[in-house]
């Protein structure tokens, strides 16, 4: 087994050397080959319903310490209350997604209402970060066809649900992630819940020990050769 692993690593390095010698440079390809040679796994932690500075900043502290990223699906009117947390997340390389302006349930709502909620949140994101978002997560994970179509964005759901909003128990949240995560997973948590901030102090360092790189949703999809498309659902990258 060790002999086979050595050959695999050697061949990966040889490929990179040959490509460089030919003047070919593709950073994402090189990163992917190197990661596979080192047996790196990728996953995306996502947080809904924030920001809420006492919790969001605790999560950001751990992410920064562990050189990791996450994706925050923010609620526009909450971001107006806590813009500094959004700025900090963005400055650390985290991704900011749209979770409506007022945490509205948009199922069965008119196109005008859906557009107003999404535009409201998008305008807040633009004001704070200077960029528009490209990802949307519907409240409650509700994703009927009309909502998906009218969102005008890639719709990001999840493959691991911690149910942190329900039990509000840090040990249960940590166990839900650590027992169920796999390469390509998208994990759902909420940065409104104090116990979730505490759970992340367990989750993030432990995943790093297990060989995971924690990246944004867009990075996770890209690493797996997926280009997010408007009006399409994504539950995981594999």
Which is the catalytic residue, given 3, 48, 99, 116? 48
Do 76 and 97 contact (CB within 8 A), yes or no? no
Residue 101 burial (10 A CB sphere; 0-12, 13-18, 19+): buried
Residue 7 burial (10 A CB sphere; 0-12, 13-18, 19+): exposed
3 annotated active-site: no
Which is the catalytic residue, given 99, 164, 190, 191? 190
Strands 41-48 and 233-234, bridge-based pairing: unpaired
183 annotated active-site: no
* Whole-number Å distance between alpha carbons of 224 and 208: 19
* Token output for 100: 């409506």
The residues carrying an active-site annotation are 48, 190
């Amino acid at each position: 087994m060790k002999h086979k692993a050595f050959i695999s690593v050697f061949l990966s390095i040889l490929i990179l050397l040959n490509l460089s010698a030919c003047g070919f440079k593709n950073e994402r390809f090189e990163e992917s080959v190197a990661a596979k040679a080192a047996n790196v796994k990728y996953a995306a932690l996502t947080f809904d319903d924030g920001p809420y500075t006492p919790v969001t900043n605790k999560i950001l502290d751990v992410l920064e310490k562990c050189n990791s990223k996450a994706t925050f699906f923010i609620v526009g009117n909450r971001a107006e209350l806590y813009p500094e947390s959004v700025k900090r997340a963005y400055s650390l390389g985290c991704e900011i997604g749209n979770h409506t302006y007022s945490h509205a349930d948009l199922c069965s709502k008119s196109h005008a209402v859906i557009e107003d909620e999404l535009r409201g949140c998008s305008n807040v994101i633009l004001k704070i970060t200077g960029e528009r978002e490209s990802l949307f997560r519907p409240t409650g994970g509700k994703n009927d066809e009309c909502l998906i179509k009218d969102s005008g964005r890639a719709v990001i759901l999840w493959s691991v649900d911690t149910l942190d909003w329900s039990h509000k128990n840090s040990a249960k949240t940590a166990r839900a992630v650590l027992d169920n995560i796999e390469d390509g997973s998208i994990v759902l948590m909420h940065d409104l819940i104090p116990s979730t901030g505490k759970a992340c102090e367990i989750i993030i360092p432990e995943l790093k020990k297990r060989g995971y790189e924690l990246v944004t949703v867009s990075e996770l999809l890209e690493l797996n050769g997926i280009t997010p498309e408007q009006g399409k659902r994504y539950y995981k990258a594999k």
